[in-house]
Amino acid sequence: MNFTEEDGYTVKDLLQFGIDHLESSRILYSGGAHCFDSAGYLAQLGLELCFKALHLYANKGFNNTHNLVQLYKEIKGELTGDGLSADQLTTLSEVDKYYELRYPRKHDPVESGDEDCERALSIYDTLMEQMPEEVQEALKTINPLKKGGRVLMEKEDQGI
């Protein structure tokens, strides 16, 4: 395993970052077509981190890969239900390509649109429903104002 708990990674942190990326993706998908690339990239990253959280839980580490299909196949046995549906597996393969939305790709463009948001989030919903009980308990302890060793704060409205 390339990354372990000894390196400072925790299941809870990976889940929190993954969930926040997915929520940011949802917001960006509703922001208009000019935000779709960023939204798709964050959807891919969010699911990746959720899968890696399960790897860390089950295997005490995770490898340096961004391949969602591979990550899912390797942790499917950790889920408490039947896993993803056939439609969700197809969607997972599509969302996997969104990693490429980080850069312009004129010769091999990757498409992403607002209809992709709910399909990607359905994968997340299924994962959350089928997470092992111990992982679900960790989710309940997430403090949204503490993240990655930081305290998150917003400035007060200055009335400007």
CATH fold group of domain 3-151: Four Helix Bundle (Hemerythrin (Met), subunit A) (1.20.120)
Give the contacts of 110 (CB within 8 A, at least 6 positions apart). Answer: 40, 97, 98, 100, 101
- pLDDT bucket at 154, cuts 50 / 70 / 90: confident
Percent of the chain whose predicted confidence (pLDDT) is above 90: 88
Output 5 or 1, whichever has higher pLDDT: 5
Each domain of the chain, given as residue ranges in start order, spans 3-151
User: β-strands 61-62, 3-4: how paired?
Assistant: antiparallel
Torsion angle in degrees (nearest 10) through CA of 8, 11, 17, 22 = 160
Weakest-pLDDT range from 57-61, 98-102, 120-124, 154-158: 154-158
Helical ranges in the chain per DSSP H = 11-29, 36-59, 68-75, 86-96, 115-130, 133-140
pLDDT of residue 116: 84
pLDDT tens digits along 76-102? 999 999 999 999 999 999 999 999 999
Mean pLDDT, to the nearest integer, of 122-140? Answer: 94
pLDDT tens digits along 34-62? 999 999 999 999 999 999 999 999 999 99
Q: Is residue 147 helix, strand or coil?
A: strand
Averaged pLDDT score across all residues of the chain: 93
Measured distance CA(106)–CA(61) in Å, rounded: 36
pLDDT of residue 160: 62
